[in-house]
Amino acid sequence: MNEQEFFDLALKVIAQRASEAERAELDTLIARQPELKAEFERLQADTRLAREVLPLVNATEATAPELPGWARGQLQTKVRGTFGRQPAPERATESETLGALWKWRWVLGLAAATAVVTLVVLPVFTRSAPPVIQVAMLDTTGATRGSETNAWSLLRQSWEKATIDSFTDPAALHAWETNWPAPDKSPVVKVVFDPATGEVRLLGRWKGESFGKTLLVEQDLAATLEQARSFIKEKTSR
């Protein structure tokens, strides 16, 4: 019996999913090779640790429910008590204010004229450029598995013109997700498919605002991608 086979058998016994015959087999093995007893005990300890740590790790990634409204005031009181109030802007004297008002009349007049030109003339000539869609998927085992090849095809069908990047390292994917072009460049929407968590994440920068949404792949990926397309269209058609 090799190391992995011993692990599988021992784990089955520890998880109380072994048959009588399997338990007897493990007992015989340990009796024949006493060094395996220490290995079995270490595995018991590892299991105990996993049972304690994993729920905590999963809780650390929780995204629901929402903060109750009543808690906000209490928490903001703590923020003010810790950091103090944000300083109010300095007040100008009355004469400074009057002088500034006259200057502002000119500025406001010009701004109004510019606004008329912008609202009436510019829409005739220009339309907002569509956002650049960037797509990525996490593929920790390489692009050889059937389901993920299928996922790649679905992503390609949904965004024909987009580049689709595949990442095997979650850290590299995270870097990709957080790398945005300069604000003056074309607006960008990032679509991330993470098969491990069953999520499609949408992140976008559109007209100076950021937006984000996470969709769970509940039934099939194609339906979720259709939802994603609708969401992006809704956000970028304003």
User: Which residues are near other proteins by CB under 8 A?
Assistant: 4, 7-8, 11, 15, 17, 41-68, 71-72, 74-76, 78-80, 82-84, 86, 138, 140-141, 145-148, 170-171, 194-197, 203, 210, 212
Token pair, residue 131, equals 């956002």
| CB neighbours of residue 200 within 10 Å | 24
CA dist., res. 162 & res. 202, Å (int):
14
**Considering the complex, what minimum distance in angstroms separates the CB of residue 184 from other proteins?**
20
| CB neighbours of residue 235 within 10 Å | 18
**163: helix, coil or strand?**
strand
Amino acid at 214: T
Nearer to other proteins, 42 or 233 (CB): 42
**111-132 burial string, b = 16+ CB within 10 Å, else e?**
eeeeeeeeeeeeeeeeeeeebe
**Considering the complex, what minimum distance in angstroms separates the CB of residue 227 from other proteins?**
20
**Considering the complex, what minimum distance in angstroms separates the CB of residue 14 from other proteins?**
10
Nearer to other proteins, 203 or 225 (CB): 203
**Considering the complex, what minimum distance in angstroms separates the CB of residue 59 from other proteins?**
4
Nearer to other proteins, 54 or 113 (CB): 54
Nearer to other proteins, 17 or 105 (CB): 17
**Considering the complex, what minimum distance in angstroms separates the CB of residue 111 from other proteins?**
27
Distances (CA, A) of 232 to 29, 53, 221: 59, 37, 16
Nearer to other proteins, 97 or 214 (CB): 214
